[in-house]
C-alpha cells in the first residue's frame, strides 16, 4: 500500500487524470444509484395501478391526480399524471402527450449512466498510457546507466508501468460493474414507465366507453328482456 502512495506522489501529474476519472465515476455511481434504486421505482406498482383503476372508473380524476402527486418523484407516476391531465382531450392527443412524457421519463432515467462506460474506457487507456511511459523511462534509464544501476532502474521503471496499469484498472472495473447494474435498473424502470403508459391509456379508454354506454345501460338494465 505504501508503494502505491509513493507512486502517486512521485507521478502525481500523470496519475491525476486517473484519480479525477475515479472521483467522477464515484460521484455518478452514488447519484445514479440513489435515484435509480431508491427514488424512481414504485415499490408496489400493481397496488398503485389498482387504486388508480378504482378512482378512474368511478370518475374521480381529481383524486387520481392527487394520488399521482404523492409519487411526484416517480417517472411512471408522472407519465400517468400527464395522461390524466389530457383525459378530456381526443384519443390521438392523449397518445401524443404520452409519447412525449415517456420520452422525457426515459431521458431522466438514462441520464449520466452511460458516462460510466466512457470513464471505464478512458481510465483503462490512461493506465495503458502510464504503462508505456514507464517502460520508455525504464529502457532509457537502462541504456544510459552503468551496469551496477541497471537492475534497479529497470525494476523502478517496470514498477511504475505496472502501478499505472493497476490504477487504471482499479477505476475501470468498478465503473463497469456499476454501469452494468445501473443499466439493468434503467431498463427495468423504462419498462415500468412503458407499462404505466399502456395501462393508463387503456383505463382512459375504458372510462370513455363506460360513459358512452351509460345511457344504454340505464335504458336497458341488466336482466330485462324485450318480447
Classify residue 43 by its DSSP letter.
T
Task: State the Cα angle at 133 between 129 and 137, rounded to 5°.
Answer: 170
Look at residue 218 and tell me whether its pLDDT is greater than 80.
no
Look at residue 137 and tell me whether its pLDDT is greater than 50.
yes
CB 32 within 8 A of CB 113: yes
| Residue scoring higher pLDDT (205 or 148) | 205
**pLDDT tens-digit map of 37-83:** 999 998 888 899 999 999 988 888 899 999 999 988 899 999 999 99
CB 21 within 8 A of CB 170: no
Q: What are 54's three cell numbers?
A: 378504482
Q: pTM here?
A: 0.80
Look at residue 223 and tell me whether its pLDDT is greater than 60.
no
Q: Which of 8, 16, 39, 26 is nearest to 109 (CA)?
A: 39
**Phi and psi angles of residue 220, each rounded to the nearest 5 degrees, phi first:** -130, 75
Look at residue 122 and tell me whether its pLDDT is greater than 80.
yes
pLDDT of residue 224: 47
Q: Which of 80, 87, 85 is nearest to 101 (CA)?
A: 80
Q: What are 180's three cell numbers?
A: 452494468
Look at residue 175 and tell me whether its pLDDT is greater than 90.
yes
225 band by pLDDT with thresholds 50, 70 and 90 = very low
Amino acid at each position: 500500500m505504501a508503494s502505491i502512495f509513493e507512486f502517486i506522489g512521485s507521478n502525481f501529474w500523470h496519475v491525476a487524470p486517473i484519480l479525477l476519472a475515479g472521483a467522477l465515476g464515484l460521484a455518478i455511481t452514488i447519484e445514479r444509484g440513489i435515484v435509480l434504486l431508491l427514488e424512481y421505482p414504485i415499490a408496489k406498482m400493481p397496488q398503485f395501478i389498482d387504486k388508480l383503476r378504482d378512482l378512474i372508473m368511478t370518475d374521480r380524476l381529481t383524486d387520481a391526480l392527487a394520488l399521482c402527486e404523492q409519487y411526484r418523484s416517480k417517472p411512471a407516476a408522472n407519465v400517468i399524471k400527464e395522461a390524466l391531465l389530457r383525459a378530456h382531450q381526443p384519443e390521438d392527443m392523449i397518445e401524443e402527450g404520452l409519447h412525449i412524457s415517456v420520452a422525457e421519463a426515459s431521458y431522466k432515467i438514462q441520464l449520466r449512466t452511460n458516462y460510466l462506460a466512457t470513464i471505464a474506457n478512458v481510465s483503462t487507456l490512461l493506465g495503458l498510457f502510464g504503462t508505456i511511459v514507464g517502460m520508455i523511462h525504464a529502457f532509457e534509464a537502462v541504456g544510459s546507466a552503468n551496469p551496477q544501476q541497471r537492475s534497479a532502474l529497470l525494476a523502478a521503471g517496470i514498477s511504475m508501468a505496472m502501478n499505472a496499469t493497476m490504477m487504471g484498472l482499479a477505476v475501470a472495473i468498478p465503473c463497469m460493474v456499476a454501469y452494468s447494474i445501473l443499466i439493468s435498473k434503467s431498463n427495468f424502470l423504462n419498462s415500468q414507465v412503458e407499462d404505466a403508459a399502456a395501462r393508463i391509456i387503456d383505463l382512459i379508454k375504458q372510462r370513455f366507453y363506460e360513459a358512452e354506454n351509460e345511457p344504454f345501460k340505464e335504458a336497458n338494465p341488466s336482466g330485462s328482456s324485450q318480447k
